């Protein structure tokens, strides 16, 4: 592992290659979706409203009649 890492670190690259590899590494770390979201300012997933559940907390009217 150390031999592979030292070989990789000793390799000479141009500025263009370095920036390309750095960009690919950042995109891999943060995810391509988050990167596109950052650039466009929009979410990749669709926004849809979740209907309230008829079960669980908040399902019944507290102290009154539940409107239908």
Q: What is the pLDDT of residues 6-60, one digit of tens each?
A: 887 888 989 999 999 998 888 888 787 777 787 887 655 555 555 556 666 666 6
pLDDT (0 to 100) of residue 14: 93
Q: Domain of 28?
A: 14-42
> Is 61:55 a contact under the CB 8 Å cutoff?
no
Model-wide pTM > 0.85: no
Q: What is the pLDDT of residue 31?
A: 81
Does some domain include residue 60?
no
Residue 38 lies in a domain: yes
Please report whether residue 36 resides in a domain. Answer: yes
32: in domain: yes
- Report pLDDT for 16: 94
E strands, the chain, are none
Per-residue confidence (pLDDT) for residue 63, from 0 to 100: 62
Provide the number of structural domains found in the chain.
1
The answer to the question of residue 31 being in a domain is yes
Residues 46, 48: Cα–Cα separation, whole Å:
6
Residue at 26 is within a domain = yes
| Residue 27 is assigned to a structural domain of this protein | yes
In this predicted structure, what is the pLDDT of residue 38? Answer: 79
């Amino acid at each position: 592992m150390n031999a592979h890492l030292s070989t990789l670190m000793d390799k000479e690259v141009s500025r263009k290659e370095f920036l390309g590899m750095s960009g690919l590494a950042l995109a891999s770390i943060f995810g391509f979706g988050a990167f596109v979201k950052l650039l466009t300012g929009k979410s990749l997933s669709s926004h849809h409203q979740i209907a309230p559940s008829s079960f669980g907390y908040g399902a019944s009217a507290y102290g009154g009649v539940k409107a239908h």
